[in-house]
Amino acid sequence: MTLSAKPLARYSAWQRRGDFVFLSGVIAVDPGAGKIVNGFGDVPANAAKLIGQTGEFSVDVKDGPILCQSWYVLDRIRATMEEAGGSISDVFKLVQYFRNLDDFPRYNSVRKLFFPNTPPVSTVVEVSAMMPSEAVLIEVEATAWLPA
């Protein structure tokens, strides 16, 4: 069972306001394990293959962190939307924060798996740091329309 996004500090993971659902920024941290997702070993094997695990050590070590963090974050958004009573297809806006914009193409390939039809409107920003660690490469916040 995939868990929804959980706060790492004192804030709400999501809130509903009328027909809108607002999700806080989601990072690839498993709060139960206290671990940052850092590679293909940190995601389910079927997801690893789906997002591009090659089995070539030098390729997987380089691409694995951003591919796996991208999958983990988007899968948490999916699970959180289900917890809110909707689905990921209800998400219409994403704000994506990257430590390095060079990671965007790999993230985008994963995002297409979650939004195969019409992609959400998006903002992409490069930032100098993210909490809780430099190992966090991406953070994504989402807004959804979910009529009551």
**Domain of 58: which CATH number?**
3.30.1330.40
| Cβ count near 106 (within 10 Å) | 21
pLDDT tens track for 128-140? 999 889 999 999 9
Question: Three-state SS string across 70-95, please?
Answer: HHHHHHHHHHHHHHCCCCHHHEEEEE
pLDDT tens track for 55-97? 999 999 999 999 999 999 999 999 999 999 999 999 999 999 9
Range of the domain at 104: 14-145
68: its two tokens: 């796996």
Q: How many residues are recorded in the chain? A: 148
* Nearest residue to 139 (alpha-carbon basis) of 88, 69, 47: 69
Residue 95 lies in a domain: yes
Residue 9 lies in a domain: no
31 pLDDT higher than 90: no
Which pLDDT score, from 0 to 100, does residue 1 have? Answer: 42
Residue 8 lies in a domain: no
Please tell me the pTM assigned to this model: 0.92
Cβ contacts of residue 105 below 8 Å, gap of 6+? none
* β-bridge partners, 123: 95
Which pLDDT score, from 0 to 100, does residue 4 have? Answer: 57
Tally the domains of the chain: 1
